[in-house]
A and B are shown apart, each in its own frame.
Chain A
């Protein structure tokens, strides 16, 4: 049973999801350890490639676990990994959402929720900075990041425009 890669994927990612406080990206080092060191499913370089692919594709970045599952055991592996990453955590979030609905309006809960906002927004800034640094291989990439920041901040237009311009500039100059 413990030799079955589907089972190993499910148990491994369910466990990782339970320590993923701050989001799926918080546990990328832990995923790397599971996939490369513990099970030897792929090399460090392959892991980095899959992570970059998941970042470039639309959807939650945590879907890198789906790519890992695909690499290990095909479609069944993809489903096992994503369900393990989302199932237990989702049930916990659902239970908490129910509790929150029951407590709606409690003064202390309002304070707690307002208090978590600056941490959430500060971490959005932080992830943007880290991604911009990783992307800044040429000066043009920095220009694209800065221009995209200003466009999204100062206009109401769809960010798809800057992603499209980024793709074209990347194809021409990067």
Chain B
């Protein structure tokens, strides 16, 4: 053994890339610019499926934290992931990327909308995109649920959140703060 060349003392790190500040900015810029129908579904697709910076479980957890904290969810997620990978500069790069691109687009749209917003074909195209974007959000939620394979107490809390939001139409702060203790209890009960 002593004659062998020195072995790597640490186990091989998991093959999960750790993005730099520029990569955080550019990736979040792209997420913002393709983020039709809201960015959370797109952020999951890019960060979990394409870049593999975080796992499905990690993304869902950061999104959950982002909802409990006040402020825009997608912003809270961007700041958490930016901070995790590259500290303060990473958090700033991710959030500026997320908002910068769409703000320029909106600036153009705001000017165009004043002129063309009531043109029938524009309204029809927007209606078609809205219907497809709603399906995209539902498909993303189905995908996450399928991959996380939640135990039934966790599933029950998720179903309660769905019904409270979509059927009872309760205010979001009430749903988040009211169901969080049950979710935590379910996680405690099913902990490994």
- Across the interface, name the chain A residue whose C-beta is closest to B62: A113
- Across the interface, name the chain A residue whose C-beta is closest to B153: A118
B91 CB contacts on chain A under 8 angstroms:
90, 94, 97
- Across the interface, name the chain B residue whose C-beta is closest to A52: B126
Q: Does any Cβ of B come within 8 Å of A42's Cβ?
A: no
Q: Check B125 against A171 for contact (C-beta < 8 Å).
A: yes
Quick one: given A90-B75, A123-B175, A126-B161, are A166 and B128 in contact (CB under 8 Å)? yes
Q: Check B105 against A22 for contact (C-beta < 8 Å).
A: no
A97 CB contacts on chain B under 8 angstroms:
79-80, 83-84, 91
Cα separation A17 to B121 with both chains bound (whole Å): 35
Q: Please give the distance in Å from B44's CB to the nearest CB on chain A.
A: 9
Q: Please give the distance in Å from A16's CB to the nearest CB on chain B.
A: 9
Q: Does any Cβ of A come within 8 Å of B76's Cβ?
A: yes
Q: Does any Cβ of B come within 8 Å of A103's Cβ?
A: no
A1 CB contacts on chain B under 8 angstroms:
none
Cα separation A116 to B79 with both chains bound (whole Å): 18
Q: Which of B72, B124, B183 contacts A115 (CB 8 A)?
A: B183
Q: Check B187 against A63 for contact (C-beta < 8 Å).
A: no
Cα separation A20 to B157 with both chains bound (whole Å): 21
Cα separation A96 to B64 with both chains bound (whole Å): 13
Q: Check A145 against B172 for contact (C-beta < 8 Å).
A: no
Chain B contact residues (Cβ within 8 angstroms of A): what range? 35 or more
Q: Does any Cβ of A come within 8 Å of B135's Cβ?
A: yes
Count of A-B contacts with CB under 8 A? 394
Q: Check B135 against A146 for contact (C-beta < 8 Å).
A: yes
B144 CB contacts on chain A under 8 angstroms:
121, 124
A114 CB contacts on chain B under 8 angstroms:
61, 154, 187, 191
Q: Which of B38, B134, B164, B183 contacts A117 (CB 8 A)?
A: B183
Q: Check B128 against A170 for contact (C-beta < 8 Å).
A: yes
Q: Please give the distance in Å from A86's CB to the nearest CB on chain B.
A: 6
Q: Check A141 against B127 for contact (C-beta < 8 Å).
A: yes
A54 CB contacts on chain B under 8 angstroms:
106
Q: Does any Cβ of A come within 8 Å of B23's Cβ?
A: no
Interface size on A, residues (CB 8 A): 98
Cα separation A70 to B111 with both chains bound (whole Å): 9
User: Which of A2-10, A31-39, A150-158 forms part of the interface with chain B?
Assistant: A150-158
Q: Check B102 against A152 for contact (C-beta < 8 Å).
A: no
Q: Check B110 against A70 for contact (C-beta < 8 Å).
A: yes
Cα separation A88 to B165 with both chains bound (whole Å): 27
Quick one: given A67-B110, A94-B91, A118-B183, are A159 and B41 in contact (CB under 8 Å)? yes
A49 CB contacts on chain B under 8 angstroms:
113, 117
Q: Does any Cβ of A come within 8 Å of B15's Cβ?
A: no
A151 CB contacts on chain B under 8 angstroms:
135, 139
- Across the interface, name the chain A residue whose C-beta is closest to B102: A59
Q: Check A149 against B139 for contact (C-beta < 8 Å).
A: yes
Q: Does any Cβ of A come within 8 Å of B99's Cβ?
A: yes
Apart from A78-B110, A149-B142, A160-B34, 8 more pairs, CB < 8 Å: A60-B35, A60-B74, A62-B72, A117-B150, A122-B159, A149-B139, A166-B130, A166-B132
> Which residues of A are at the interface with B, using a C-beta cutoff of 8 A?
17-26, 49, 52-63, 66-67, 70-71, 75, 78, 82, 85-86, 88-90, 92-94, 96-98, 100-101, 110-132, 134-137, 141-142, 144-154, 156, 158-160, 162-163, 165-171, 173-174
